[in-house]
Amino acid sequence: MNISTRGRYGLRALADMTIHAVNGPVALRVIAERQNLSESYLEQVFSSLRKAGIVRSVRGAQGGYELNRPANEISVGEILRALEGPITPVYCVDDSSPGSECEMEKTCLTRPFWEELRNVVNRFLDETTLQDVIDKAPRESNKEPMFYI
């Protein structure tokens, strides 16, 4: 039951970017340094976020990334799904990708339970926004450089 580094780094980097955005885009180099993450790895992460419409990029010198929408209109579910794929405790209750249905769907003893767990998790993730994440973050983290989770 684990979120990989893509999701962890991605969410943390987004929170960092949002907090430190003054005006104009923020370069990955800056985020990577502040959060002690690999810039190259963040590139891959932000590529996914851009393709999902969560951030937009500005290329060239003085470029970088910025949120594509206000932080309170971006759910954590959306972010994690962009980075991790469908969030589901077991693949067989992933209703997002047709063809992934378990063949014993109708008779499986545990399927109804897993569906419920999936719903509990996704409901929470979809109700929580990037802004909520930031609001819950400790104060000091807005001032000093962070290190890795």
| Contact in structure between 29 and 62 (CB atoms under 8 Å) | no
List the single partner that 61 binds among DNA, its own copies, none, CB under 5 to 8 Å by kind.
DNA
- Could you say whether residue 134 binds DNA (CB under 7 A)? no
Binding residue for DNA (CB under 7 A) from 21, 27, 52, 108?
Answer: 27
Residues 6+ apart with CB under 8 A from 128: 75, 76, 77
Report the C-alpha gap between 10 and 37 in whole angstroms: 10
Task: Pick the piece of the chain touching DNA (CB under 7 A) from 45-53, 69-77, 108-116, 130-138.
Answer: 45-53
Q: Residue 97 gets which letter from DSSP?
A: S
Nearest to 17 by CA among 56, 44, 51: 56
- Could you say whether residue 61 binds DNA (CB under 7 A)? yes
Footprint (CB under 8 A) of its own copies, residues 66-105: 76, 80, 84, 87-92, 102-104
Footprint (CB under 8 A) of its own copies, residues 118-147: 120-121, 124-125, 128, 132-134, 136-138, 140-141, 144, 146-147
Number of amino acids touching its own copies (CB under 8 A): 50
List the single partner that 88 binds among its own copies, DNA, none, CB under 5 to 8 Å by kind.
its own copies
- Could you say whether residue 36 binds DNA (CB under 7 A)? no
